[in-house]
Structure 1
Amino acid sequence: MLRFAISRLVSLGLSLIVASLVIFAVIEGVPGDPAAFMLGLNADPAAVAALREELGLGGSLPARYLDWIGGMLRGDFGISYTYRVPVADLVAARLWVSLPLAAYALALSTAIAFPVGLIAAARRGTAVDAGIMGATQLGIAVPNFWFAMLLVLVFAIQLRLFSAGGFPGWDEGIWINVKALTLPAVALALPQASILARVMRSSVLETLGQDYIRTARAKGLTRRQAVFRHALRNAMIPVLTIIGLQFSFLLAGAIIIENVFFLPGLGRLIFQGITQRDLVVVESVVMLLVFAVITVNFLVDLAYAAVDPRLRRRR
């Protein structure tokens, strides 16, 4: 297990290095001068040059890359062109919105998908299975922003059970913030739960067709016992992959939902940074999200090894 974890850590480090090079090259290759954009079309060239120097845009690309990476390792993500505050402060403030939202949505999608996928697999070929597969197909097809607006119309405007948007802040209390994140989390969880339920059903059905399951049934185990004692653990391997990818998507891909509900999260920060050409914010936040995605995949690999002992023994 230790050798497996070390090999995955080495892979994680190499992936981060490659990702940082790609992100820096893409961001720096964007045409246009951020300093000239900030000062306007009719800005004085001397003022533009002074601002470039202040923002650290005058050095060579390798030196700027090393400064950027070294700063991130120290927790210094630079100064935002637009807000004139440290990017780390912007990220910290918005991470406490995006991270709970992603965790909330993932918990909802997992809580829905696991029993639904197991029921569909256990009732294969019945009307229950057909109804569940139809519902999951609808959940995948419905755009989450449209579903979010329906949630606002029903639960915020008509029933007045939840707020239509905004985030009070954690200093206002946990319950009021959980209520503020409930509708966005449900809107994000619907398509993810549909995907995860279909994967869960397919994985369980594939596992139930294996020889060792037939042997277990021949020894007298009921179908329920065979599923929960033998099939479920092996069926979890592809499901863990989807869960890891879903958390990464929910953390980084909630831009539209955050704008629908006026949530000050990381997705909205990236959107604002792109529209304002705040390259320091964009490259730092994207690198942080890439680190989160790679770290989640690393944890999923460790979960693989915990579920399947064959991976721990493989060289």
Structure 2
Amino acid sequence: MLTFALKRALSMIVSLAAASLVIFFAIEVIPGDPAAYMLGMNASEDTLAALRSELGLDQGMAERYVGWITGMLAGDFGTSYTYRTPVAEMVGERLWISLPLTLYALALSTFVAFPVGILAASNRGGVLDTGIMGLTQLGIAVPNFWFAMMLVVIFAINLGWFTAGGFPGWEGGLLAGLKALTLPAIALALPQASVLARVMRSALIDTLHEDFVRTARAKGLTRGQALRRHALRNAMIPVLTIIGLQFSFLLAGAIIIENVFFLPGLGRLIFQAITQRDLIVVESVVMLLVFAVILVTFLVDLAYAAVDPRLRRGR
């Protein structure tokens, strides 16, 4: 197990190094001068040169890359060009919104998808299975931003059960914070729950035809007992893959939903930084999200090894 974990950790480090190079140089070649954006089109060259020097934009790309990487390793993500505030401080404030939203949406999608997928697999080919598969297909096809707007119209404007947007802050209480995140979490969870339910159904159906399940049935276990005691655990490997990918997607892909609900999270921060040409914020936040994606993938690999002993033996 230790050898397996060390190999995956080395792979994670290599992936992070490659991602940092791609992120930095891809963003740096985007047309536009942050100094010119901040000072306006009529700024003099002397003023622009002074601001570029202050922001470190007059240095070479390689020098700036090394400074950016070494700063991040020390916990310093740089200073925002626009707000003149440490990026780490801005990320920390917004992470307390984006991370709970991601976990909330992931919990909703998992709690819905598991029983729905198991129910569909248990009734394969029946009316219930056909109806569930139709609903999950609809959940995948419906754009989550459109679904988010429908939630606002129905539950915020018409029924008045929730607010249409904004976030009161956690200092207002846990219930108030979760209430503000409920509609965004549902909008994010719908397509993820649909995908996860379909994967759970397919994995269970494949596992139920394995020899060890037939043996368990031959020993007197009912179909439900064989499913819960034997098939479910062995069907979890593809499901764990999807859950890991969903966490990464939800954390990094909530830009549109956060803007629909006016949530001051990481997605909205990236959107604002792109429009303002605040390169250091875009680079640092994107790198942080990439790190989260790779870290979750690493943890999913470890979960694989815990579920399937063959991986620990290198097979």
- Say whether the fold is shared (TM-score over 0.5): yes
Task: Tell me which residue corresponds to 2:63.
Answer: 63
CA distance in 2, matches of 1:274, 1:91: 15
CA distance in 2, matches of 1:11, 1:157: 49
CA distance in 1, matches of 2:264, 2:129: 40
Task: Tell me which residue corresponds to 1:115.
Answer: 115
CA distance in 2, matches of 1:163, 1:38: 34
Task: Tell me which residue corresponds to 1:27.
Answer: 27
- AA aligned opposite 1:194: S
Correspondences of 1:170-185 after superposition (within 5 Å): 170-185=170-185
> What is the CA-CA distance between 1:151 and the residue it aligns to?
1.1
Q: TM-score, normalised by structure 2?
A: 0.98
Shifted more, 247-256 versus 209-218: the winner is 209-218
Task: Tell me which residue corresponds to 1:126.
Answer: 126
Task: Tell me which residue corresponds to 2:76.
Answer: 76
Deviation digits for residues 43-79 of structure 1, max 9, x if unmatched? 1101111111100111222211110001111111111
Q: Indicate the SS of the match to 1:161.
A: coil
- AA aligned opposite 1:99: L
Deviation digits for residues 254-306 of structure 1, max 9, x if unmatched? 11111111000101111111111110110000000000000000000010001
- AA aligned opposite 1:238: P
Deviation digits for residues 150-172 of structure 1, max 9, x if unmatched? 11111112221111110011111
Task: Tell me which residue corresponds to 1:213.
Answer: 213
Shifted more, 296-305 versus 59-68: the winner is 59-68
Structure 2: 5+ residue stretches without partners: none
Task: Tell me which residue corresponds to 1:270.
Answer: 270
CA distance in 2, matches of 1:60, 1:140: 45
Correspondences of 1:282-293 after superposition (within 5 Å): 282-293=282-293
Within the alignment, does 1:94 sit opposite 2:119 as a pair?
no
Structure 1: 5+ residue stretches without partners: none
> What is the CA-CA distance between 1:32 and the residue it aligns to?
2.3
Task: Tell me which residue corresponds to 2:235.
Answer: 235
Deviation digits for residues 106-157 of structure 1, max 9, x if unmatched? 0000000000000000000100000100110111111111111111111112
The structure 1 segments of at least 4 consecutive aligned residues displaced by more than 3 Å after TM superposition are: none
Correspondences of 1:131-210 after superposition (within 5 Å): 131-210=131-210
Identity, % of aligned pairs?
73
Residues matched between the structures, number: 315
Within the alignment, does 1:296 sit opposite 2:299 as a pair?
no
- AA aligned opposite 1:286: V
